Amino acid sequence: MYEHVLSPIDIGGVTVPNRVVRTAHATGIGAGHMSPELIEYHAARARGGVGLTIIEILSVHPTSPASLNAFDPRLQGEYEQLVEACAPHGMKLFQQIWHAGHNGSPIDGSPPWSASDIPSPQVGVVPRPMSRGQIDEIVAAYADTVKLCKDSGLDGVEIHGAHGYLPQQFLSANTNKREDEYGGSLENRMRFLMEIMRACRAHSEDGFAVGVRLAADETSGGIGPEENIAVTQALKEEGLVDFVNISLGNYHSFPKMIGGMHEPVGYELETAEPVARETGEVPSIVTGRYRTLEEVDQAIRMGQADLVGMTRATIADPDLVAKTKRGEESRVRPCIACNQGCVGQLLSPLRKVGCAVNAGAGFETQWGDDKLTQTDAPKNVVVIGGGPAGMEAARVAAKRGHKVTLAEAMPDLGGTLDLASRAPTRQQFKDFLVWLQDEIYAEGVDVKLSTYVTEDDLAAFEADHVILATGAEPRMDGLQMSHPGEPIEGIDLDHVVSSNDLFCEPGATQATRALVIDDVGHYEGLAASEHLAKNGAKVTMVTRLPTLAQDVRSALMVDPALERLNTMDFDYHVGTRVLKTDGQSAELQAVTGGEPWSINADLVVFISLNRPRTDLLAAIEAQSIPHTLVGDANAPRFLVRAVAEGNAVGRSI
pLDDT in tens, 362-391: 999 999 999 999 999 999 999 999 999 999
Residue 508: is it exposed, middle or buried by C-beta count within 10 angstroms (0-12/13-18/19+)?
exposed
Kindly indicate the confidence band of residue 220, based on its pLDDT and cuts at 50, 70 and 90: confident
Cβ atoms within 10 Å of 460's Cβ, excluding its own: 8
pLDDT of 506 strictly over 70: no
Q: What is the dihedral of CA 219, 224, 225, 228, to 10 degrees?
A: -120
pLDDT of 353 strictly over 70: yes
HSE-CB for 117 with a 13 A CA cutoff: 3
pLDDT tens sequence across 52-74? 999 999 999 999 999 999 999 99
d(CA 440, CA 414): 13
pLDDT tens sequence across 397-452? 999 999 999 999 999 999 999 999 999 999 999 999 999 999 999 999 999 999 99
pLDDT of 350 strictly over 90: no
**CA 249: distance to chain centroid?**
16
Percent of the chain whose predicted confidence (pLDDT) is above 90: 93
**pLDDT at residue 508 in the model:** 66
Domains of the chain (ranges, CATH numbers): 9-346 (3.20.20.70), 372-473+612-652 (3.40.50.720), 496-609 (3.50.50.60)
d(CA 544, CA 589): 10
Kindly indicate the confidence band of residue 507, based on its pLDDT and cuts at 50, 70 and 90: low
Relative to beta strand 9-11, strand 14-16 is antiparallel
Mean pLDDT, the chain, integer: 95
Kindly indicate the confidence band of residue 509, based on its pLDDT and cuts at 50, 70 and 90: confident
**CA 269: distance to chain centroid?**
19
C-alpha dihedral sign at 512, 518, 521, 525: negative
Q: Decide if 341 contacts 40 (C-beta within 8 A).
A: no
